[in-house]
């Protein structure tokens, strides 16, 4: 990752309110393209809330308001003329708990391409489904049972299925909200290897509670505390020589 590339997201004074409660107090951050940015911080620090501003998932929550400016490739994603539906096709999301739809594995992956009309024939869709499952590292495990329900897979497989589902609509960004928190260590290792591969192609932002995970998979790390962005730097720097005492306290386990 080079420092000279243009940022994927440029955020200025981003504030999020739930009713009268201000969850984020003016965040300024530039998220680089093609790389993994990790958000860490104690529970309730606002990192998941911040993640959900990038695909406007906060819009679906009653009483949630976002102010400030978030530019994606220089375009304001909170512009009144911007359709959140199109934004979400470009910014995929993977959730904490694997949430495959109660449909077949094939239909799970084909869901996004179908609603967006990305393919014009069954053959084309077949190709896209296979490509997405391959990229998510799941193809070899499921190629013989594409018609079986996605909910019958193991937790780790489900999470990779959900990633395949997100990849299938050809996004530029993939948001991951604690994607490994419901997985066992082996499934987690597979998921992290997958993230390593995906970052060549996509901008990945991952929220995680595991500092070891942040250190392993991310290029840049942002530390959030009580709704503020405390520190944002290269992951190596954050974990070896943090510039802020609170970051130091958190990563060494004194707070959090």
Partner 1 sequence: MGQISIYMMLLIAVLTIGGFVYNRSSALGKFRAARAAAGGKMVSSAWHSQASYHGYFTAWLVALSTLAVFIIGLVINGQGMVFNGLWLAAIILTALGVTIITGRKVSGTFRARTYVERFIHGLLICLSVIAVLTTLGIIASLLFESLRFFREVPFMDFLFGLQWSPQTAMRADQVGQSGSFGAIPVFAGTFLIMLVAMAIAGPVGLMIAIYLTEYASAGVRKWIKPAIEILAGVPTVVYGFFALLTFAPFVRGFAETLGFSVPTQSALAAGVVMGVMIIPFVSSLSSDVINSVPQTLRDGSYALGATESETMKKVVFTAALPGIIGAFMLAISRAIGETMIVYMAAGKAANLTANPFEAVTTVTVQIVALLTGDSDFDSAKTLVAFALGLVLFVITLILNVVALTVVRRYRARY
Q: Which residues bind partner 1 (CB under 8 A)?
A: 55, 57, 60, 85-89, 92-93, 95, 97, 99-103, 111-112, 115-116, 149, 151-152, 162, 165-166, 169
CB of 240 to partner 1, least distance (A): 34
CA distance to 105, 138, 139, 170, 208, per residue, from 221 (Å): 34, 28, 31, 25, 10
C-beta closer to partner 1: residue 112 or 156: 112
Q: Which of 173, 172, 10, 174 is closest to 78 using CA atoms?
A: 10
C-beta closer to partner 1: residue 83 or 236: 83
C-beta closer to partner 1: residue 32 or 100: 100
CB of 93 to partner 1, least distance (A): 4
CB of 4 to partner 1, least distance (A): 31
Q: Which residue pairs from 82-91 have beta carbons closer than 8 angstroms and sit at least 24 positions apart in sequence?
A: 84/55, 84/56, 84/59, 87/55, 87/56, 88/55, 88/56, 88/57, 89/116, 89/169, 89/171, 90/171, 90/172, 90/173, 91/54, 91/55, 91/171, 91/172, 91/173, 91/174, 91/175
C-beta closer to partner 1: residue 167 or 230: 167
CB of 152 to partner 1, least distance (A): 7
């Amino acid at each position: 990752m080079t420092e000279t590339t243009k940022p994927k997201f440029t955020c200025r004074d981003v504030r999020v309110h739930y009713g009268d409660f201000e969850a984020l107090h003016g965040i300024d951050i530039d998220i680089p393209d093609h790389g993994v940015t990790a958000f860490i911080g104690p529970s309730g620090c606002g990192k998941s809330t911040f993640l959900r501003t990038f695909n406007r998932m906060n819009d679906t929550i009653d009483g949630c308001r976002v102010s400030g400016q978030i530019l994606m490739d220089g375009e304001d994603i909170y512009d009144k003329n911007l359709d959140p539906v199109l934004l979400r096709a470009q910014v995929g999301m993977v959730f904490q708990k694997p949430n495959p739809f109660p449909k077949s594995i094939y239909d799970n992956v084909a869901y996004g391409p179908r609603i967006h009309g990305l393919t014009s024939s069954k053959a084309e869709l077949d190709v896209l489904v296979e490509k997405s499952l391959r990229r998510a590292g799941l193809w070899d495990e499921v190629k013989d049972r594409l018609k079986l329900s996605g909910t019958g897979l193991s937790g780790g497989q489900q999470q990779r299925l959900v990633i395949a589902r997100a990849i299938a609509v050809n996004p530029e960004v993939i948001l991951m909200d604690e994607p490994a928190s419901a997985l066992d260590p082996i499934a987690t290792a597979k998921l992290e290897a997958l993230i390593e591969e995906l970052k060549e192609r996509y901008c990945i932002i991952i929220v995680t509670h595991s500092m070891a995970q942040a250190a392993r998979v991310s290029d840049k790390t942002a530390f959030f505390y009580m709704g503020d962005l405390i520190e944002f730097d290269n992951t190596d720097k954050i974990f070896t020589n943090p510039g802020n005492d609170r970051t130091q306290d958190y990563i060494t386990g004194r707070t959090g």
